Amino acid sequence: MMRMWVLLLLVVTPVHASDLDQDMATFRKDVLEINKRLLLMEEELLSPADTQLAIFVSLDVGNFFVPDSITLTLDGETIESHLYTDKEVEALKNGAVQKIHTTNIKNGVHQLTAFVTGKGPNGRDYRRGATLDFEKAHGRHYIQLKMEDDAAAQQPVFNFKSWK
């Protein structure tokens, strides 16, 4: 009978910190550090603080609007077009903020326009534009496009928030 009951065994190795794990952890730490240094240097070179304009997008609640795409124009020129994936929309619905574009502009008056498409109330196709006139002064300038639900009107609203 012995040969009938030859066993199926599974090699299950317990998880423990080996030298390799330790080396990987140290390596990852070093990579994160150098990546941070390089990102900082790149930003310093590409978008110096004095001329930097960063544009953010947020979605509050999202019952009346789910974005499909967004196109940004600055002073009449298209600077960014973005198509949203389901994961990105989900992240926005959970309260995340997307840094959609960073650019350099001169001090003075500018006009930013956002064209947003997506699904509006009752799943209908929805397209809307929103414009902001702003003055860029010294230092970094941030603009946030807030896509919010207007519960009273049962419609989405698109507002800009501008700060330095």
Partner 1 sequence: MRIGASILACVLCLPAVAAERDWRLDRPHPVVDPAYGQILYDYYQGQQFAALSHILLALETGALPTQSERAQVLLGALYASYGMPGEAEKLFDQLLARAVDDELATRVWIHLGQLYYQQQRYTQALSILDTRVVDVPADLRQPYHALRTRILMKLGRYDETEGALADLGDGSVLGGYLRYNLAVSRINAGQGDAGEALLWQLANLPPGDEENNSLKDKAMLALGVHYLRSGAPARANEVLGAARLEGPYSETALLLHARAWLALQEPGKALPSLQELSKRSMQFEEAQEASIALPYLYEQLGDDATARHLYRQAIRNYTEHFRYLGELEVRVRRGDWFLDLVQMPTWSTAMDPVPPFQPRRVDSFATFRQLFASHDFHTRWRDYHEQWRQVRLLEQWQQRLPAMHELLAAHIRKHRDQVPRAEALLADVETANYPGTLRELEGRLQRAVSDNDFRVLATDEQRRLIAQLDQAALAAERWPDKLAEQKEKLDFYRRVMQWEVESRRVPLVWQREKVLAGLSGELDDMETLVERIRHASSGDMNRITQLGYQLAETHNDLVALENRGRGILTRQQQALEAKALAVIDYTRTRLKAFTAECWIALGDLENRALRQRYGADVPGDRSSE
Name the residues that contact partner 1, by CB under 8 A.
Answer: 2-13, 15, 17, 20-21, 23-25, 27-42, 44-46, 56, 58, 87-88, 90-92, 94-99, 138, 142, 144
In the complex, minimum distance from the CB of residue 84 to partner 1, in angstroms, rounded to a whole number = 11
Report the alpha-carbon distance of residue 113 to residue 129 in Å, rounded: 7
Q: What backbone torsions phi and psi does residue 47 show, to the nearest 5 degrees?
A: -130, 80
Task: CB nearer to partner 1: give 127 or 161.
Answer: 161
In the complex, minimum distance from the CB of residue 113 to partner 1, in angstroms, rounded to a whole number = 20
In the complex, minimum distance from the CB of residue 76 to partner 1, in angstroms, rounded to a whole number = 26
Nearest Cα residue to 97 out of 161, 16, 20, 12: 161
In the complex, minimum distance from the CB of residue 57 to partner 1, in angstroms, rounded to a whole number = 9
In the complex, minimum distance from the CB of residue 125 to partner 1, in angstroms, rounded to a whole number = 25
- Copy the structure tokens of residue 131: 């414009």
Task: CB nearer to partner 1: give 45 or 152.
Answer: 45
Report the alpha-carbon distance of residue 63 to residue 154 in Å, rounded: 9
Please report how many Cα atoms fall inside a 13 Å half-sphere around the Cα of residue 145, on the Cβ side: 27
Task: CB nearer to partner 1: give 3 or 124.
Answer: 3
Report the alpha-carbon distance of residue 105 to residue 51 in Å, rounded: 5
Task: CB nearer to partner 1: give 6 or 109.
Answer: 6
Residues 6+ apart with CB under 8 A from 31: none
Task: CB nearer to partner 1: give 79 or 89.
Answer: 89
